[in-house]
Amino acid sequence: MGIQNIPEHELARLREKAKEITGSQFDYQSSYTDLLSRRLNGEPLQYIEEYVPFYSIQINVDQRCLIPRPETEYMIEIIKNNVIAPKKILDVGTGSGCIALMMKKLFPDSEVHAVDISNDAITLAKENAEINNLEVNFYQSDLLTNVEKLDFDLIVANLPYIPTSNLPTLQKEVIDYEPLIALDGGEDGLLYINKLLDNLKNTDSNDLLLVLEVDTSHAQSLRDSFTDWKDVKLEKDLVERDRYIVARK
Ligand SMILES: C[S@@+](CC[C@H](N)C(=O)[O-])C[C@H]1O[C@@H](n2cnc3c(N)ncnc32)[C@H](O)[C@@H]1O
């Protein structure tokens, strides 16, 4: 990518970051040049800036986690519209911790747990908890393997859902910089979502609400596979695509 491909608003943000790094309003040119060359190499702006706003909190991001997407921010609205006061919440595949931390912010009296297979992501999520002064129990787990008691009344998950064969079609800045483990959903993209549903088959939860972010192309067929769940519905994202599955047990 050449500098002509970088929009002025991004250049302005890089300039602001360079000023922040150098602590100077005037003498920031060499830092700005470094940041610009990272951007020209295809590094996502959010990793260069090192943080993103997420709903009503700020989340630090780097190559240990997926950059939270607007669809996931909107998932918070979907969750809010479907629960009143959850007591015990689990976020599966927490990444930066964005969903789990927002849950704790919105429902301060709840007990929030969040797991990820990636130790790096868990370390970053704990840093984000500290920055935001929010208490979430973050721990490493392959899906629910290390979750002791499945007595949650709300489980949320944005698990990897890109079919392995589609990975090469992703934008260079995604595939070159974001963790593969956060993207690769196996052969049909449904490997982890189906495993999670399997794990939840015999849950002892009473009145569990499940909210999943899914690939828009999987939404209809996935909904039809929720045969042992009640009140199964698809919810749309901001651009009117089926994007979330909400179901009760
Ligand atoms: C699409 S990212 C979502 C991250 C974050 N929840 C968000 O919405 O921005 C999926 C996350 O699932 C995690 N993950 C992948 N396989 C997993 C597994 N088997 N068990 C737990 N987490 C897993 C990845 O490390 C990654 O952080």
pLDDT for 173-207, tens place per residue? Answer: 999 999 999 999 999 999 999 999 999 987 767 78
In the block, tokens 């929010």 appear at 134
Domain ranges for the chain = 3-41, 64-248
Mutation test of ligand 1: which of 66, 98, 198, 214 has the most ligand atoms closer than 8 Å to its C-beta?
A: 66
Say if CB 85 and CB 207 are below 8 A apart. no
Say if CB 66 and CB 95 are below 8 A apart. yes
**Distance (Å) from CA 115 to ligand 1 centroid:** 8
**Mean pLDDT taken over the chain:** 95
Return the CATH fold of 64-248. Answer: Rossmann fold (3.40.50)
Q: What is the pLDDT of residue 2?
A: 81
- Cα–Cα distance, 131 to 5 (Å, whole number): 34
Instruction: Work out the angle at residue 118's Cα, subtended by the Cα atoms of residues 113 and 122, and round it to the nearest 5 degrees.
Output: 45
- Cα–Cα distance, 143 to 115 (Å, whole number): 7
Q: What is the pLDDT of residue 30?
A: 96
**Distance (Å) from CA 92 to ligand 1 centroid:** 7
**Distance (Å) from CA 149 to ligand 1 centroid:** 20
Mean pLDDT across 59-84: 97
Q: What is the pLDDT of residue 189?
A: 95
**Distance (Å) from CA 13 to ligand 1 centroid:** 28
Residue nearest to atom 11 of ligand 1 (CA): 93
Supply 43's token pair.
């590094």
Residues paired with residue 205 on neighbouring β-strands, in sequence order: none
- Cα–Cα distance, 21 to 195 (Å, whole number): 44
**Distance (Å) from CA 95 to ligand 1 centroid:** 5
Say if CB 58 and CB 132 are below 8 A apart. yes
- Cα–Cα distance, 98 to 105 (Å, whole number): 11
**Distance (Å) from CA 58 to ligand 1 centroid:** 19
Residue nearest to atom 6 of ligand 1 (CA): 94
Q: What is the pLDDT of residue 204?
A: 67
- Between residues 4 and 230, which one has the greater pLDDT? 230
Q: What is the pLDDT of residue 85?
A: 93
Say if CB 240 and CB 231 are below 8 A apart. no
| Residues having CB within 6 Å of any atom of ligand 1 | 65-66, 68, 72, 92-96, 98-99, 115-118, 121, 142-143, 158-160, 181-182, 192
Instruction: With CA atoms as reference, report the closest residue to 115 among 74, 159, 78, 153.
Output: 159
H/E element, 115: strand 111-116
Residue nearest to atom 13 of ligand 1 (CA): 93
Per-residue pLDDT of 124-176, as tens digits, reads 999 999 999 999 999 999 999 999 989 999 999 999 999 999 999 999 999 99
Question: pTM of the prediction?
Answer: 0.96
104 has a pLDDT exceeding 80: yes
If you write DSSP's letter for every residue of 168-222 in order, what string do you get? GGS-HHHHTTS-GGGTB--TTS-HHHHHHHHHTTT---SS-EEEEE--TTTHHHH
